[in-house]
Every structure is written in structure tokens, then in C-alpha cells.
Structure 1
Amino acid sequence: MRRNLWIRITCPILILILLLIIFWNWDWFIPVVEARASAETGRPVSIQHLHVTLGRTIIIRADGITIANPKGFPAEDPPLAQIPELRVEVAALHYLRHQQLELPVIALEQPVISLRQTGAETNYTLKLAASPSSSTPPKLGVLLIHGGQASVKLPSYKADFNLAIETRPAPADSKLFTGGEIVVTVKGTYANAPITGDFTGGALLSLRDAATPYPVALHLQNGTTMVKLAGTLNDPAHFAGAHLKLSFSGQNMANLYALTGVPIPDTPPFSLTGTAVYQDKAFRLQDFTGHVGSSDLEGTIAEAPGEPRRQITARLTSKRVDLTDLAGFLGGTPGNKNTPGQNAATKAKLAKAADSSKLLPSTPINLPKLNEVDVDLRYKGEHIINKGVPLDDLVAHLVVKDGRVTVDPLNFAVGTGTIASAIDLTPDKNVLHAKANIDFRRLQLSRIVGSTTGFAGNGTVGGSAWISGTGNSMAAILGHGDGHASLFLQHGGDISALLVDLVGLQGGPAILSALGVPNKTPIECLISDVSLKDGQMNTNAFLVATKESNILGKGTANLDTETLNLHMWTEATHFSIGNLSTPINIGGTLKHPSIMPAPGPLAARVGSAVGLGVLFPPLAIIPTIRLGLGDKNACEDTLAKLHK
């Protein structure tokens, strides 16, 4: 009786358990899992199938996972993520013994990630739910990715590229990657330029190990720019630090802006190698060496966070510097036809600049980029290598603060003398207000002209200049600027040699003959004083004094159109019929001046000279002369004689 009762009770239970085992479907739990995943990611998450295999190690497999885009993204856009299969292994015994979740293996099969942008919104910015502070994080083992792909289309970065992602065992001979590695390859376009490259990192789950440096290696090419790095990251989950060997090269350092966000003027081809260190939230490229164009370059560059913009500090030195490599800082085309490493496009750009009828750089200065970083840069060029340039070295201190640019000092050594200058550029909407002051202090004439053909004069050059203007390029600033310049020379040596060596007039002897000045006449003093008003340069005084005669000049130069209209003539110190001379007209442009005798008969020439008047420099200019040449100088004596 009792036995029959037990059978009647247990048989239905056993049948129910058997039926439950036979017909059990883990998909019944999908709504619960989807709701939990959606809450964690802040995005709708859907799962097609769910499978669980019970045992000492529980295997959970989810098929057909989709993480949707946020609201507002086009319906035709692919979802943020599609994962055909996700497999997670759970160590059940470890959980029972230690009350900590252990996941020995997490495997993703052929995941596809699609990063998109609509306006200012991106689909990959997740609002992750905060984990309770008291919860124990799971113990993770190996993360495997097989056949992973990612598609990136971000209009604000002008980016459209694809990634292939794969994990694999580390090579047996690898010293950097010992516990497995992840390999990512990239191909497409970035910043409107082709991009290709490959990245290798250590095992993904070792990213959580703060005590062990995470190894990385990268080889990337974006347009003509190549970047290579290898080294380690400290506590990469929180990016606590880095120590990397870094090298980069390309046709123009300005192209690094797309990769670094740091604005750099145009440069010739470059190649630099150094050590990149990240520590205390600051990045530093230290002890780097290399070349930019024909100039070597070494030093340290540091970047630190700041408000409202990043702070860049640089200490740079060149043992040998080619000034044409620095033309980009003035809006010009850097380098020259002999600069090494140029590709066809760079050579074509230089050729176009050389063929231009304009001399002043007209490339607009990128004003928005001036507001992106604050910069403190000190640079020293120990030896200037340009043939025909009389400058010995260069010292500059450039500061960019709140978009305002100051270069103070910008000094050049010329023998025992100095060209000392200071520049201030203040942005105002779409233009810059520019101010510059330049002093020429006791420059040795032999150093200036001896750089060309070995001129041996012992004269001294001095003077000063200032300019103020507004525009978005050097040409615009000078073309509508105001200013003043005075230049003096004492004991200039042979005047014919000076015309050839200093002024570059190969027809110097013929011009002197037209002016009625013997070729070998020594110069006692040269004075030039000009003013600039709204881009129009006017000659206040021009005098080349010799014992035999005085060469005078007047005229204009339009810096907006870059045209010249100058006249020179001679006044003899002792008049005789043999001293009658031909006035000289200087026309053409700043880049291509033309020099020829003024037309008309002799009487007309003489009348013209008298009509122009004898424009001797005023005595009021003497204090400026003393500043440039010293207290005792030939120009002061010459002026005193002329004004007797």
C-alpha cells in the first residue's frame, strides 16, 4: 500500500524532471539577459539564442548578439556591434570556494564593430552603469577574438577606414610579447589621406594587470607621414604611464597635426627619432635627434594638460641650420631645390613658388590653430650654413598664449655685430595685428658681403626698423602696413665691389659710369632712411658719400603690388662739366627689379637732377646713427660737412 503511494507520488515528479530536461530551452532566459545587458551599456541589446553547458566549467554561448545605435542615427546605418557568437567559460568550483567569479575564457567569433558619427554625436560613446564599490571584480583569463572587423566613418576626422582584429599566440622568439598578442591592421583614409598600418599589443586581458607593463608596437603610414613606436604602457587600463621608442618621418611636419592635434608650420621633409615618455599626465618626447630639410634638429618637446588648452614646451637646437627650412614660420614655402628627401609633389610646390612673380609670402596664417595650444619654444641654430647669407647663428624664443604669438628675441649674430628683433602677432577675428622691431648693431661689412665673393671692406653697418600692420599673411601685413627704417654704413670700401657683392648689381661698373663715379672710389658713408604708410614705402633720405661726389636717391616701393619706382643721381662735391651724370631709374618688382639710365638728353638729365633737389639727410638722424654705428662714426662727420 505504502509502496504504491510512493510510486504514485515520485513517478510524476520524475516524469516532470525528465520532460524538463528534454524540453528545457535556455532561450527562455534571453529577455532577462537582454534587459541586464541593455541596462549595463545604455543601448538596446538583442540576442538570438542562448546555450548553457553545465559542468565543473560552465560554458555559456550567446548567438546573434546586436548592440544597437542610439536614437537619432539613420536606420540604414549598421548597428554599433554585431557578434555572431560569444562564448564565456565560468569556473563554477572557484566561485563556490572563493565567492569570486572566474572567467577562464572569453571568445568572440567574427565580431563586427561599426563606429559612426551623425553631426556632433557618435554611436560609440556608451553610458555604462556604475558598478557597486563593494563588488569584487571577476577574475579574467584569456580573451580570444577570431576574424574581428571594425568599420570607422567619422566625417569630423575625415576618416573612412577598416580594421582587421585577431588574437594569436605570441611567437616563440618574441621578447616583447610573451603571453599572447592582439594584432590590428588598418586600411583606408584618415584626414583625407591614405592610411595603412599594423598594431601589435599584448594579451588583451593583461590590460587589467596594473603591475605588469603592457607591450605595444605600431607601424603607421598616413599620407606621406610614417610613425613607428615600440615599448610598454604602465597600467594601460588607466593609462598611468608609457615608455616608447618613437620615430616619425614625412614630407611636412604640418601633416602631424592630424595625428597629434599639435599645430606645426610647414616644413621640408623630416625624420626624427627619440624616446616618448608619459608620466604624471604629461607627455614628453626627449633626447630626439634627426633632420628637418638640410638642418639637423635635436632636443625635447613636452606636452601637458592645461586649461583652457594644452601646454607645449620645446627646447630645440640645430648644430647646422638652413634658413630656407624655416620659411614655413613666415608663411613661405620651406626648403629649396637641393633639400634632401623631397617627393614629386614637394618639388612641384617649390617650383611653383619659385615661378611666382611675388616675393612676399602670401600663404594665410591658420588662425584657429593658434588657439588650440599654448607654446613655449626656445630654439638655437648654432651655425647657419646658407651660402650668400652673412648670418652666423640664430637664437629665438617663441611663445603662443591665448592665440597671441610673440617672438622675443629673434636674434642673429653677424660677426661681432647683432641683428636683434622682436615680433608680436595678436589675433583679431580673421586677421592678425603684427608689430616688429629690428635693430642692426655694428654689423661688420666684411662679414656681410664676404659671404659672396670675398669682399674685404672694413666698414660697419647699423640701423633700426619697425613695422605695424594687419592681415592674414605676411604679404597682407606688409602690403597695408606702416613703419620706418634707417640703415647706415661707414667706411664701405670699394664702391664698385660693394654694388656687386652687397646689392647684387653685376652691371655695377656701368651704373657707376652713368652716375659719374669712378669704379674704385671708396665709400665714406651710406645713409638710407625710409618710411612706410599703408604699404607705400617712401624714401626720406638716401646718400652714398665719397670724397669725389654724393650719390642721392628718392622714390617709392609699393609693398602691396610689390612694384618699385626709385631714382638715383650724383651731386659732385666740386662741380665741373666732367661731373655731369646720368640719373638711374630702378623699376620692376621686388623679385625682379630692373635698373637702367633715365632717358632724355643731357640737359634734361641735369635739369631733372636739380629739380629733384639735393636731399641731404637731416641732422636729426644723428642719434639713430650713433645707436647703430657707435659714438664716433664717419656718417656723423659726413652729415656735419654737408650741412655747413
Structure 2
Amino acid sequence: MCRIPPPGTLRGPENGDPFLTAQPGTPRSPLRRPLPILAGLSALALLLLVVLWNWDWFVPMIERRASAALHRPVTIAHLHVRPGWTTTITLDDPHIGQPEGFTAEKEDFASAKSLTVSVKPWPYLVGRGLTLPLVALDTPRGDIVALQDGRNNYTFTADGKPAPDNGSPTSLPHIDELRITDGDIRVALARLRSDFRLALHTTPPAEGKLGTIVAEAKGRYAAQPITGHFVGGALLTLADAQNPYPVDLHVANGPTTVTLRGTVNDPIHFAGAQLNLTLTGPDMSLLYPLIGIPIPQTPHYSIAGKLDYTEAKIRFTGFEGRLGSSDLGGDLTVDPHQKVPFVEAALHSHLVDLADLAGFVGGEPGHAKTENPSDTKILPDQRINVPKLNAVNAHIAYHGDHIENKRLPLDNIDVEATVQDGAIDVRKLNFAVGTGTLASVATLTPAANDDFSTRFKLDVSRVPVTRLMKGLGSLEGQGTIGGHVTLSATGHSVADLVAHGTGGITIVLDQGGHLSAILPDLLGLQLGNALLSALGLPPRTPLQCFIADMPLKDGILSTHSFLIQTGDTRTTGDGTVNFRNNTLDYAITTRAIHFTVASFPGAVHISGPLRSPIILPGAEIAGRVAATGALAAVFPPAAIIPTIQFGVGKGSACEQAVAQAYAHPAAGIAPGTTTGPHPSPAARAGRARATRATTAAERKAAAEVRAAWAKKQQKTGHE
């Protein structure tokens, strides 16, 4: 049914009648006008926002978040952002303050006039990594500090200590260009006794060549002045596996200079290098702060070789150079990834002067040494550095083809040694002497108070007498010497070990030989025979035997037997050498075996400091000289009487002394097969059976011989 409105009621759209429409020309209803108004207001607001927008509104939020993340205050003067496919962000006057505990530093941790970073957002959003076309630093400043207690200001943790390594690799952004203008960074590392500054800047690309980064260093490193100059390629090549990164570095740290030139392959992934390394300086031990490998004192050196590395090892190969008056070459490999870095060294020399290696046994290397008149020590007394030994584990092999040494006629040298957890194991320290060998082994184990518990053994095997005494020119013939030297001690240097050591020396001459006649004659002050020997009559006298059997107990070397017997004389020694205070109290007596005239036999006393001993004739010699003078004054022909010796006779002193040395060797090891020609297997077996067959009666007989020998020495050799 159609509803008819009441009479007089106006009908139309404005009254809600949907069936009626406005007539043409009728005004639009006000209810439809807010939509365009809102659109206009929105456009106006957007325009005003664009015109009035200030990126500094975000500065407080950035400062708060950065300060919380870096654990130190961060301030920014202004923030500028230019959006686009490549978005550019600029921070004006950024400052990163010092963390807690470093507020006394005069400078901020980092600051700059401005920091500009260009970012490509799209590759990052689609998972292709972060790409930074440009990082530009204008006048950057830095203050990098590490304290003695291990805290530093460059580890961004709450306590300032290094964060634990979680093993996950760090993803680095790809930087196309790093632009640095007038950079200045201070580096102060207390444990390294270092405080130096780095001046940094970059050069722009030119003529198709990439730019470079340049750094100049000046200050102190390892308590020594340091200057350095570095030129490297643009940082965009650091992550470019196809373009090796160029390196040119020169560093002078005190008297030590290091030069490194070449290229590095894909440095981010340790793909390798082609670098030439040159090291020059007065002492290799000064390299420790630079390379982290402890090296004993050396004379002046200059070495050059190839430096390479992989993810596993660093290699210094094919190096050659000079070490004092010796040449030195070889290969060196370092594995820095073990808990303690491991070093493998294979070294060689064609010509080596042993004086250049003195530092490896605690002595002062080289020949130009400054003598200290108050220093009475004759053994190397440089303390073995335990902390440095704990800094590295190592295996070292060294061979010297020819030894240049005026005092000892050694032919070559072979060394093999390891360092493990501060312990030294010298597996081989051998010298060739003609057809013989001086072979030694030693172990040094860390003990209390930074001392070392040491075991040392030297085997003297078939050393020709002529080669051993070549420097003196006094021995001839085919005699060979053999025996052993042992030492057991706890100490901190070679001198300290011997001063507290127990062991001994047992050396025996086998096969005979010839001794220049003037030597024993002068020892016995046989003036007439010495004169004849000096004139060449006789030119030689046969050396029948030589025995030195001397025990060492608590640093004092005493004498079981000391005997040199020739065809004409018998020289004996008795006394002590005290390595505790480096003095000796010894007597050497030479007597003629046959009837001799014009001789003053008796003991010659040697006493006082080992460096400058006092040599005085004994009472027998003094008495004979006084008697000769008195008789010459009364009746000159009778002056010859005190110089007459009737001789001690040949006897069996050699056999007795050798038997004693075999039965009770002071070194604790019988000479065995170390003397004489190389025995056949049957001879070696026979000698072993003979050694095992030594009976208690033979040992008793040897003791009786020893007692008789001591009694005779007391009677005839000690006045």
C-alpha cells in the first residue's frame, strides 16, 4: 500500500525522500563537501611535513640505542638522510665517549667532523647482504687503550673485557669505497709498553687505478721508538678474490727494521699471499714484540725471504741472510690456531761461527764482548726466560756444514730440539770432530721459582787427538779420546746449573799418539829437555795415555784421576774446581820417568779465580831452586845436584787409572766403546761381556789402587 504523506509536508531529498531528486541548478548538499576538504588537508599536511621535516627528530633515539649497544655515551649533532635506491646518511659531529673506567682519558674513544654512509637497501632486503657504496670519514679521531689488567676500551662489553668467542663467523658488509680525510688515532697498549699515533688518509682513484689507504705511525712500541709507513690498496679489494690486495709496509722499531712488500690474496678468507719480508737488526731477541716468537740473543742479522699464509699456517720460507759472521737460511712455519702457537723451524748454515750461537746457551753472542772486571763467571749466566718459553711450542732442526772456530777444531753441527709447555728437550746437539763425534742430549723441565730441573749427557766418541788439539799445534799421531760428561742439576742458567750440579767427567785416551815434547817438559820445568825440544831434539815424544776422571758434586769438581803419560814424563793432577764461586785450587806435577839432569820436578800450584788464576811453584821446586842458588854461590859445579831426577819408572799407572775409570767412572758411565777404532760386532760383544764380567774383587783392587795413588800423590806431589 502506498503511504501518502500528510498535507503540507515538503518532500524531497533534503528531507530524506529517496524518490525525489534535486532539480537541475539546485545547490549540492553540504553533507558531500567534507571528502575533498579532507583530501586537501591531507595534501597540505603532507606538503608541510615535507617542507618542515627534520631528521634530527630521530637523533635522541639513535643516541639512546647506540649508547646502550656500545656501553658508552654517544652524541650526534645532526642527522641528514637522502632517500633513494642508494640512500645516503650523514652524521654531523658524532662523538663516542669513553666507557666506564676510562673516563680519565683526555680524548673521546672516537669522533669525527662527519660520517657519511651510502647504503643500498634493496639488496639487503632481498637477502643479498649489505652493500655500502661509500663510507666517508672527515677528520676522524680515535683513542684506543688497553690496560695492564686486561681491560680495554675497544671491546664493546659492559665490563670492558673481551667477549667470549661464540665461534660464529662475522658477516662483513661489502664496502666499495672508504674515504678518510685527515685521520688521527692514538693506540696505547700497556702490556706491550706501547703508545703511538696513526695518521690516516686515503687517495682517490685515478687513471683507471683504484685508490689507496696510507698510514704513518710514530711513537713508542715495546718501550722502543717506532716509525712506520704503510700503503695499501683500496678497501674494495679486500673482499675481492679476483684482485690481490697490495701491501707496502716499512717499520722501524728501535734498531729493528721490517720491510714487507707484495700482495695478499682475498684477505677476508686467508687465501694466501706473495710477500717479500726483510728483517734487519742488532739482535733477533728484539723481534719478540713484533712477531711473538721468543728468540735468544744473537749478533747483528739481516734476513730476507717469502712470507705466505693460509687459514691454518703462516710460512716464512726460503729465507737467506747473515747472522753475525755466519750465514743462515731455512724455512719457518707457525700454526697460530693452537692454544699455544706452534713453530716448526728447519735451519741451515754453510759456514757458522759458534760465537754467533752463544746466545742459545745463555752466553753473549759474537766476539766483541765487554769484559766486566768484577764478573768472575766463566760459564754463560743469562737466565732462561720461562714466560717467553711458555709463549710458544716449537720443533727446531739446525745443521751447520762447516764450523769456523779458532779454539776448537769442530767440523760441523747438528741440532734437534723441542719446546713443549715451557720444557726444553735437546734431542741432539752433535759436533763432528774428524772421524769422531761430540754428541749431547739434555732435558730442561720447569721447576719451582722459574728454575729448570736439568739432565745433561755428553758422549765423546773416538775424537782424534790431533783434531782436538789442532789449535795448540802440540799433538800428533793417531790417538783417539772417548768418554762421557754428565750433569744433573736444578737452576736458571748454565752457570747456575753447574754451580748446583752433580755428575762428572770421565775421559780416556786410547791408541796412544804423540805429544810435542816441549809441553810435558815445561810442565815439569825440565829446562834442559825443554831447550832440546825447542831446538827440535827430540821432535816428539809418544803419548801413552790420558785419563781425566773427575766427579762433580754440588758444583765442586774434584779429582779421582788426572794423568798424562808420555814416553819420558808422567804428569798428574789433583785438586778442585769450585763453580760456586768460580775459583780453583789445583796442583799439576810432572816427573821424569827416566834419569834426567837440569830438571826442577815438583808440583805447580794453580789457584784463585778461574778467569785469572795465580800459578806458583810448589815447595819442592822452590827448595830445589834455592839449593841450586846456594850451591852455585859456594861451589858452582855442585849447583847441578838439585836438578837431578832419577825417574819414577814406567810402572803401570796408565793401566791402573784406566781400570779405575772403567770400574768407578766419575761420570757414572764407563768409556766403553767410545775410544779406539770402530769395533766390529764381535769385538763390541766381547767388550760388553768383559764389562759385565767385572767382579767385586776387581772393584776392590781398583779401590786399593786409588788409595795407593792418593797416598803417592800426597807424598810426592803436595808440598
- The TM-score normalised by the length of structure 1 is 0.84
Counterpart of 2:661 in structure 1 is 621
Counterpart of 2:196 in structure 1 is 161
Residue number among 608, 611, 617 corresponding to 1:588 in the alignment: 608
How far residue 527 of structure 1 moved from its aligned partner, in angstroms, is: 1.3
How far residue 264 of structure 1 moved from its aligned partner, in angstroms, is: 0.6
Q: Return closer, same or farther for 1:94/1:366 CA change in 2, 3 Å cut-off.
A: closer
Structure 1 position 415 matched with structure 2 position 434: yes
How far residue 274 of structure 1 moved from its aligned partner, in angstroms, is: 0.8
Equivalent runs, 1:19-418 vs 2, <5 Å = 19-38=48-67, 41=70, 43-53=72-82, 58-90=87-119, 102-118=131-147, 119-126=149-156, 140-169=175-204, 178-305=209-336, 307-337=338-368, 350-352=369-371, 356-418=375-437
Is the CA contact (8 Å cut-off) linking 1:514 and 1:583 kept in structure 2? no
Residue number among 427, 440, 445 corresponding to 1:426 in the alignment: 445
Counterpart of 2:23 in structure 1 is none
- Gaps of at least 5 residues in structure 1 are 338-349, 500-507, 634-638
Structure 1 position 523 matched with structure 2 position 557: no
Task: Letter of the 1:493 partner, please give it.
Answer: H
Is the CA contact (8 Å cut-off) linking 1:515 and 1:584 kept in structure 2? no
Distance (Å, rounded) in 1 between the aligned partners of 2:626 and 2:577: 25
How far residue 566 of structure 1 moved from its aligned partner, in angstroms, is: 0.7
How far residue 209 of structure 1 moved from its aligned partner, in angstroms, is: 2.6
Residue number among 598, 606, 609 corresponding to 2:618 in the alignment: 598
Q: Return closer, same or farther for 1:542/1:147 CA change in 2, 3 Å cut-off.
A: same
Q: Return closer, same or farther for 1:283/1:75 CA change in 2, 3 Å cut-off.
A: same
Equivalent runs, 1:621-640 vs 2, <5 Å = 621-622=661-662, 624-625=670-671, 627-630=673-676
How far residue 210 of structure 1 moved from its aligned partner, in angstroms, is: 3.9
Task: Letter of the 2:543 partner, please give it.
Answer: I
Residue number among 517, 522, 531 corresponding to 1:509 in the alignment: 522
Is the CA contact (8 Å cut-off) linking 2:524 and 2:601 kept in structure 1? no
Distance (Å, rounded) in 1 between the aligned partners of 2:164 and 2:110: 18
Counterpart of 2:496 in structure 1 is 476
How far residue 353 of structure 1 moved from its aligned partner, in angstroms, is: 5.8
How far residue 595 of structure 1 moved from its aligned partner, in angstroms, is: 2.6
Distance (Å, rounded) in 1 between the aligned partners of 2:35 and 2:525: 135
Q: May I ask how many residue pairs the two structures share in their alignment? A: 607
Distance (Å, rounded) in 1 between the aligned partners of 2:341 and 2:242: 29
Larger Rg: 2
Residue number among 447, 466, 470 corresponding to 1:446 in the alignment: 466
Q: Which SS does the other structure have where 2:551 is aligned? A: strand
RMSD of aligned Cα (Å): 3.7
Higher normalized strand content (fraction of residues): 1
Residues 225-250 of structure 1: per-residue CA shift (max 9 Å, x gap): 11111222233234343332111111
Counterpart of 2:576 in structure 1 is 556
- Gaps of at least 5 residues in structure 2 are 1-26, 158-162, 628-641, 664-669, 680-701, 710-719
How far residue 43 of structure 1 moved from its aligned partner, in angstroms, is: 4.6
Counterpart of 2:715 in structure 1 is none
Mean Cα deviation higher: 580-589 or 269-278: 580-589
Is the CA contact (8 Å cut-off) linking 2:526 and 2:599 kept in structure 1? no
Q: Return closer, same or farther for 1:26/1:602 CA change in 2, 3 Å cut-off.
A: same
Q: Which SS does the other structure have where 1:227 is aligned? A: strand
Distance (Å, rounded) in 1 between the aligned partners of 2:174 and 2:284: 45
Distance (Å, rounded) in 2 between the aligned partners of 1:468 and 1:534: 10
Counterpart of 2:8 in structure 1 is none
How far residue 265 of structure 1 moved from its aligned partner, in angstroms, is: 0.5
- The TM-score normalised by the length of structure 2 is 0.76
How far residue 256 of structure 1 moved from its aligned partner, in angstroms, is: 0.9
Mean Cα deviation higher: 299-308 or 277-286: 299-308
Distance (Å, rounded) in 1 between the aligned partners of 2:353 and 2:505: 27
Mean Cα deviation higher: 463-472 or 189-198: 463-472
Task: Letter of the 2:189 partner, please give it.
Answer: L
Distance (Å, rounded) in 1 between the aligned partners of 2:661 and 2:211: 79
Distance (Å, rounded) in 2 between the aligned partners of 1:137 and 1:363: 48
